[in-house]
Structure 1
Amino acid sequence: MSGSIIGKNIQISTWGESHGKALGVVVDGFPAGMELCEEDIQKFLDRRKPGTSSATTPRKEDDLVEIMSGVFEGKTTGTPISMLVRNTSQKSSDYSEIAEYYRPGHADYGFDTKYGFRDYRGGGRSSGRETIGRVAAGALCEKLLGQMGISVCAYTKAIGSVEIDYSKFDKDAIAQNPTAMPDSEADQKAMDLISQARSDQDSLGGVIECCIKGVPAGVGEPVFDKLDAILARSVMSIGAVKAVEIGDGTRVSSYYGSDNNDAFSISKGNIVKETNHSGGILGGISDGSDIVLRAYVKPTPSIARTQHTINKSGNNIEINIKGRHDPVVVPRAVVVVETMCAHAILDLMISNMSAKSENIISFYRNNK
């Protein structure tokens, strides 16, 4: 299986299956000298681990990270950083009958067709637990970005039909509310909707918004490695994400050019935009404004109600999926979107350091 590596300067390679002994990641190319401990990573993993509220699966996993290499005396060494999280709460028996049929909304049929074989225990590599490695790697990137004055903040914008009210936006509420919404009133409404969906043996989807502040103008390449293209690829690679938009996104198709264009002006000696319909990116390159991205997440496909499918013998059957599943994956996916965005930004910022010859000359002159 190829395709488990992403990144150009900082390469992330995730490994492991949902019901194997462990999952993890190898981060190659991360700069030396940054202070790093397991707690720096654990606080991010705690945001995505299961069993934390009624909005998540009851599966209990501590998801404790172990740094296996790449850190010495509390600092990164510049060598590959390997991290793992051991699986401790597998119930593979819950999935034994799945080996004989294809679950609606899952990757089962695609895996069987492609490889002639699949790990049916919770989905194997297509399981949401694969994102553990992404979050661990992205936590490194987010820490380094923070030291450069760049913040990455993702939160739940909507669950089902319930959407946040920006006039009630409270950043502190993101960590406090089980839905990861920055609006406590919307959080309660969403929790009621989640409870109803669970009672109906159904599930919900939603929208995750990510705002990146402090990225200087000039990051991103103008053709295939556009900043928005790299961000979209990173976020679209998350299993449950079905669409990504930047700035005003799909709404721009109904605008006039005079409405969509962001006017430039001078404020306190700096070039600024009067509006931000572009979401901080023009021509694939950052323009110095906040970068705003939204990820649209599908409803959890594992639901307990009766569904129609076929078995491997080609017979039409009805199924009721067993196991411990999230009624909505959005709250736990917030940190996945956030850390994937952090990696994409940092990776392109490293590339940007060599965009001008004067930068290279200055670096080596000053480091003789």
Structure 2
Amino acid sequence: MGTAEPEMPKSYDAVLVVGFGGPEHRDDVIPFLENVLRGRNVPRERMLEVAEHYYHFGGVSPINGQVRELIAALEPELKRRGLDVPIYWGNRNWNPLLADTLAKMTADGVKRGLGLVLAAYSSYSSCRQYREDVARAQESVGGPAPPIDKIRVFYNHPDFIAANADRVRDALAQIPAERREATRLAFTAHSIPSSMAANCRYEAQLTETCQLIAEAVGAEPENCRLVYQSRSGRPTDPWLEPDIVDHLRQLRQEGVEDVVVHPVGFLSDHMEVLYDLDDEAQKACAEIGLNMVRAGTVGTHPAFVSMLGELIEERFRGTAVRRAIGMFGANHDVCPVDCCLPPPRPAARPSAT
């Protein structure tokens, strides 16, 4: 179990959930993607290609509904811990937008908020960029906008590991008992540019999480692999590999019959999980005769919700012990100035969340 030097307790009077956002109607898709791509040199044809992913599901991303469910589960958890504070919600790319939420928090008289960014790992796109988004929203509101601190990333929190392990066990239970021991476990995460990965601990943190989950479910290390999905950008640009579909094809060539795919890099079953795994990966497995069972994300698993309550409480109360397992200990509360630096240039393809 690891500990980190805690910040001195501050007088927070609100929690701000910070998310990516997603369209909730067909007419939202193009404006949403234009928000995602603003300032990036991405051909419109590529944007329209990604739009088809959303149209495949009626133009609706499930991510906003999943955030609402998480907030509904988190509210009683905070009250159980004696934290009777409002929970606000703002997104990077779609309603409710961060600027609108910060304006409401200001109008409501919030003096200081604690930010819960819905990302378990450290990278530019999952950490620093969200902090930049909050800073821009504060600037748009003006001087009275409340400061927002950020809770630490939680990739190695024991309850995060426990929640993921439960999801993997549920998936393994769907494999015939006589074939379960030979089943391979593929952990997936969003690929990022290699130049971005070089400036953060994304790969190391994911590797640690996967090892901890594998140990929890009793999987043999040689039967487990961290792979990536949702790769974007120009084909000539290096991104983290191997790709999940390539990995599945390789497994079948090796004679593997069953694989559990666990999207450990994601917190909910949003568009990238549904399209890249439940659609594309499953189709590939059907073509090659590989039985694939997709494990669920942590979603609103009770252990995950309890962990979020604990992470919020530790900052509200200045708790000295920061629970973490594995090699690295608890992550920092305050990001260093050189934490998760951006890559030399932005990626060239939007995410679909």
Tell me the TM-score normalised to structure 2 length. 0.27
Greater C-alpha radius of gyration: 1
Higher helix share: 2
Higher strand share: 1
Tell me the TM-score normalised to structure 1 length. 0.26
